[in-house]
Amino acid sequence: MTRNYKLIISYDGTRFYGWESQTTTDMTIQGKLQNVLSLMVGKEVKLIGAGRTDAGVHAKAMVANVNLDTEKTVEEIRDYMNQYLPEDISIQDVRIASERFHSRYNAIGKTYCYTCYIGEGKPIFDRKYVYTPPMAPDVELMRKAAQYLIGEHDFASFCAKAQKKKSTVRHVDKIEIVEDGDYLRLIYHGNGFLYNMVRILTGTLLEVGFGKRTPESMVELLEAKNRKLAGYTAPPQGLCLVKVDYD
């Protein structure tokens, strides 16, 4: 009997070329998952993810769904996948979902966390999961700038590859900047994010913290809808998808 299954997946994206499967490499998260599932059921399957993380980006709770014809229980599916998946991909949970559940189209919100290391020395054991800025930023200036970005806006200036036929309007309802010892965490929540959007937002906010931009300049950036005017794209290793929301 074919059923729709919902998967919660964690992965270290360091050595992968992002989430989306590609014809030129088998080193993608989606590709690895589909290979194991296809082996399990004896035929090719298509897995749908809630989003597409970039190369080098991590996830604590990516959500995906897949239709499978199997007699295995959800626990057996989970255990089978964890047995054959590489050590940097883990299935946290498997559940039977409704036939209409779609991990991407049904998602109503996502939480991302970008982590910077602002301590002294080098973060040797965290180096794959943090970004070390060239200098310590002024966090209060960053927080002031973030307030201008909250709400529904056209974020075209913060999108690496905007497509003319697709809307670049998104609603960001939280940008929380938390100092945690040697770490600075930027936590974003919104109804969706454009390609590289969180990393460009982070790079831009850091430039405010470095004194290269003013908090008020965020208004001009939003109005300009020009990627060239925004800040740099922060490196991928500091970014992690934390949660995907559903009704």
Residue type, 34: Q
Find the helix or strand (DSSP H, E) in which 139 lies.
helix 139-149
Q: What Cα–Cα distance (Å) separates residue 225 from each residue in 80, 168, 189, 228?
A: 47, 9, 21, 9
Whether 54 is a known active-site residue: answer: yes
Task: Label residue 204 left, alpha or beta by phi (over 0 means left) and psi (-120 to 50 means alpha).
Answer: alpha
Which residue has tokens 């806006």?
Answer: 153
Q: Could you tell me whether strands 169-180 and 151-154 are parallel, antiparallel, or unpaired per DSSP bridges?
A: antiparallel
CA distance 207 to 137: 8
Which residues are registered as beta bridge partners of 9? 62, 91
Structure tokens at 2: 């074919």
Residue type, 124: I
Task: Label residue 21 left, alpha or beta by phi (over 0 means left) and psi (-120 to 50 means alpha).
Answer: beta
CA distance 133 to 189: 23
Structure tokens at 70: 């199997």
Among candidate residues 12, 26, 54, 154, the one labeled active-site is: 54
Residues acting as catalytic residues: 54
